[in-house]
Amino acid sequence: MERREWSEKQVNLLKQYWVCGVSASIIAEKIGDGVTRNAVIGKVHRLGLMRKHRHPSLSRLRRPKQIKAKPPVQESPPMVPEPKPQIPTTPPEPKNVSIFDLNSRHCRSIVNYDEGGMALFCGAETAGEKSSWCPYHQSIYFNHERRR
């Protein structure tokens, strides 16, 4: 089919143009030296470079396998500390209420013992009707529960 030998340089030139999608007739022109379009096509066949399409884009030929882009990593916002509830930092002055004097509005935190070993209670007003403790003691017990 081809009448003349291709120099290595010409073959390389041919390959370069070919993979870039340059048409055979233009490649023949570029190589010159009497190379015809048919010669180019024949050479391409022999080199196993035949394109499926006439004018593939460069990206078609040499596109690396597409890597599926990972979704952007959602950076979790920094941990925002929970707002601390208003906790009295000092205990109320213990009223040392005995069990006999204790009523529903008295804090039931034991703060002392009398000489007979009887528990004496904080006795401060409870934090609420459903609470058994004053705000200070409630916060202590509440935090203790949460730590478990």
| Binding residues for Zn ion (CB under 5 A) | 107, 109, 122, 124, 134, 137
Q: Which residue lies nearer to Zn ion by CB, 6 or 133?
A: 133
Q: Shortest Cβ distance from residue 77 to Zn ion (Å)? A: 37
> In 3D, which of 32, 15, 140 has the Cα closest to residue 87?
140
Q: Shortest Cβ distance from residue 88 to Zn ion (Å)? A: 9
Tokens linked to 129: 């009707």
Q: Which residue lies nearer to Zn ion by CB, 21 or 94?
A: 94
Number of residues that this document lists for the chain: 148
Q: Which residue lies nearer to Zn ion by CB, 14 or 124?
A: 124
Tokens linked to 68: 């599926």
Neighbours of 95 (CB within 10 A): 19
